[in-house]
Every structure is written in C-alpha cells, then in structure tokens.
A and B are shown apart, each in its own frame.
Chain A
Amino acid sequence: MRTPCVATGLMLAILSAQPAHADDLEWFEGGKLVLTNGVTTIEGTSGGGIATWATIAGLEMDNGVGVSGHATIIELPDYGWQSHGVAVGIANRVELSYARQNFDTRDVGTALGLGEGYVLNQDIFAAKLRLLGDVVYGDPLLPQVSLGVEYKRSLDGDVAAAVGAARAEGLDYTLSATKLFLSRSVLVNATARLTEANQNGLLGFGSAAGAGHSLQFEGSLGYQLSRRAVIGAEVRTKPDNLGLGEDDWFDLFAAYAVTDNITVTAAYVDLGSIATFEDQRGAFLSAQVAF
C-alpha cells in the first residue's frame, strides 16, 4: 500500500510544480523570424558566408534552446574546401559551435612538396555572447552586438611550422554589430576581429619572425528580397603574417530559406592568393538545417 501512496504523492508534487515549469526553456521549438539566425560561416559561427555576425545560431528565442548543422563546399581553381559543423543557441543569448575544415591542396600539394591531394585540416571551437540590442527589434539605430571567441587548432602543425608559422593553434576574438534596417530592407554587419591566423589558421598562427594578433575587419551588406531570400556582398580583411601575399576575401551571396528550417547559400567567392597560387575565385555552396 505504501508504494502507490508515494507514487500518488510524487505525481501530485509534479503536477503542482507544472506552473513553475511553464517558464522553463523550450527545446528546439523554434521562434526566430526566418533568416534572423543567419547562415553558417566557414568557421562554423552564425553569420554570412565568410563574415561572423552578431546573430545567435539556432531558431530559439529567449525562452528556448536551438541547434543548427551545416555543410559547406568551395570549389577553387587549384583547391577544394569542405567544412561542416554544429552550433547550439541558448536563449538567443549564447552560441556554442564546432566546425571542421578540410582543405584539399590537390595538384598544388605536389608543387608545395606535401604530396598530391594533401589535405589540411582544422578544428574550430567557438563561443559567442550577445551583449545587447536586437537585430530586428528595439531602437532602429541600436544594432545587436555580440562578442565571440574562436579556438582554432590546425591538425597540420608540421606544415604550419614549415611555412614559418609560430604556432599550430590560436585564438580569434570577434566583436560584431548587426542590424536589419527594415525601412530599407537592408541588413548591415560590421565585425572587428583580433586574429593571428594564417589563411584562417590552416597555415598556423603568427610567424616565427614574431607577427602576432592584428585587428581585421569583416563587413556584410544584404538586401532582403522576400521573407525567405536575401542577396548581398561581404568583405573580410586578413593579415599576411607569413609574407606569402595573403589577400583579403570578397564574396557575393544569395541565401534562400527553402523551409523555415533549411537554408541554402550560394556565393561567388574571391579568396585571392593562397600559398602563392593566385586568383582563387570560385563557387561557394552551403546548406544549413536549424531548429
């Protein structure tokens, strides 16, 4: 007789606790306006294709937890890029992400003495915190501002050392401001990045000659064609710590939310000179699933 009594008591306790639970976090229930979670950058953070934004990944709002996964390929004249990863958004406040980058050197691998089809790999663990503002709501001149940190770990330390990098791992710090100017249907992002990464970190960090962190800029302009479609352009400046003629990056992108959960992004990217091979311009394709 005792067990049913305890069970009843427990049930009553759970039932009476329900109202308190109503305000708890919702898991993967969505809530963001379409596209306001951004797409996924090559570093696995939410943003444009190459620029990190102040947006938080996942479709959750301040009462939930969201998640997203992505895969990206970039086809360049001499190289092939593939990256994929996951990101978790908590209460539209905190973003935690992981991405793996795989950079296929193809024939260049032979020329660089790495071997045909040598693939450079890197892991990126990142965290982003929304400090203030909202990309859509509130003061129309107050952007959403987020602070981010990215821990990058090249898995090819030998190559990084051979080209003159000081380290195989490093930290990037980002401060982003993003706002959708509804009156013009224009999204603007500006990001300051403190980084010592060579070619994003795939060629290591800093230089044996002493080059360290420097301040770089990422900018994005987008125009909303519809609730589901946006086109735009991005720029990203980069350091040239190794003296290999590393160039700034540019892209022209189009993103489309096929459903509320699936976004595809196509872009034309100009990655300039990579490991002395010039004019690396090509196609960027990315798919993101978010809840």
Chain B
Amino acid sequence: MLATAAAAIALIFLQQAPAEDIDWDAEFGVEERERDPATGEFPVDPYEKSNANAGAEPFANGRLAAAFGGREGIRRIAERTVELSEADPRIAEIFVAHDTVRLKRTLSEQFCYLLGAGCDYTGRDMRATHDGLGIRTADLNALVENLQQAMREAGVPFAAQNRLLSKLAPMSGDVVER
C-alpha cells in the first residue's frame, strides 16, 4: 500500500512540465464563441424563421395582451421568468450553458406573439430549442411556477395567467425528453 503510494508520487514528480507556449484551445479544437457586439447574443447556426416555430396559434385579439401590460410588460415577465429560473436550484443547471440573453429575447417574442400583442417569433421551434437538455416534467413544473411568480409580481389576473399557460402546456411533448 505504502509502496504503491510512494511510486505514484514519484511518477507525478518525474513527469515533464509541458511547454509554456502551447495553444491548448487549438490542441483540443476549442472554438471561441464571441457575443455579437450589437445584440450581446452568441451566434447560432442558420435556420428558417417562422411564427409557426412559436408552437401555437396566437390569441385573435390583443385584449389579453393588455392584462400583461402590453409588449413592455410581456418582455419584463419573460426576462423575470428566466432570471428566477437561473436562480432556482431545481433547474438552474439547465440554464448554465445557455445563452440567456438570446433566451430572454426569444421567450419574450414567443409570449408576445402568442398573446396577440403583434410580435413575430424569430426563435427556433420547441423541439429544436429543447433538444438534448434532458428535461423532465418536474423541471417543466418548476419553470411554470417561476412564470406564475413573474406574472403574479406583474399583477396579471390569474385567469389571464392560465390563458397563456393554455398555449404553452400542450407543447410539453416537444420539451420533455425523459
């Protein structure tokens, strides 16, 4: 036992230190991503933009949007939902490697479009955006609770909150992977 440990320690010291001028990113093929200076978002692979990617038909008139404080109110609710989720120990891990600058914008667009507030949704579809995230229904519940808190803080009436959720809940099949 002791001899093995001594041998291991000796091996560690016998190793040669690597040269100082090695570009490790190049060695391992790491590509550095840079945020767009104008939007603050990381670039994404090209895809076809369409409101159909929002995953549901919007409410026909803008009455509901007023209950959310219009476009500006909707944007704040979407951003707050993402912030609450990033700080939520149940689901924070899912957002660690995520471009939340872009997520806040696309989520806001999606809500705005679905609520009939006159935005276009420019993000990818729900299956593509959640692919590989390993999301469970319990994670979805945590996100719903954070969205509910954001809407509650914004003074959105409960029935109106449920109207938005009624557009989102049917998308669970494209989001939940396990």
Contacts and interface: CB of A to CB of B under 8 A. Distances in A.
Interface in B147-165: 148, 152, 158-159, 162-163, 165
Contacts of B158: 185, 224-227
A140 B170 contact: yes
A17 interface: no
Interface stretch (B68-76, B100-108, B133-141): B133-141
A63 interface: yes
User: Which interface class (under 10, 10 to 19, 20 to 34, 35 or more) fits A?
Assistant: 20 to 34
Nearest to B158: A226
A24 interface: no
A13 interface: no
Contacts of A134: 137, 172
B106 to A, nearest CB: 21
B167 to A, nearest CB: 8
Contact of B141 (A31, A182, A225): A31
A224 B162 CA distance: 9
Contacts of A62: 136-138
Interface residues of B, number: 23
B138 A182 contact: no
Contacts of A140: 166, 169-170
Interface centre among A23, A137, A185 (most CB of B within 10 A): A137
B159 A185 contact: yes
Given A4-B1, A227-B158, A182 B169 contact: yes
B145 interface: yes
Contact of A33 (B144, B159, B163, B178): B144
A30 to B, nearest CB: 9
Nearest to B144: A33
Contacts of B144: 33
A32 B141 contact: yes
Interface string A205-247: 0000000000000000000111100000000000000000000
B173 interface: yes
A207 B156 CA distance: 56
Nearest to A225: B158
B37 to A, nearest CB: 39
Given A33-B145, A183-B162, A63 B169 contact: no
B170 A63 contact: no
A138 interface: yes
Interface in A83-135: 92, 134
Nearest to A60: B138
Interface centre among A5, A139, A227 (most CB of B within 10 A): A227
A137 B1 contact: no
Given A61-B138, A137-B176, 8 more contacts: A31-B141, A33-B141, A33-B144, A61-B141, A64-B138, A134-B172, A137-B173, A140-B166
22 contacts: A1-B1, A5-B1, A23-B178, A31-B138, A31-B142, A33-B144, A33-B145, A61-B141, A62-B137, A137-B137, A137-B140, A138-B169, A138-B172, A140-B166, A181-B166, A182-B166, A183-B162, A185-B158, A185-B159, A226-B158, A227-B152, A227-B158
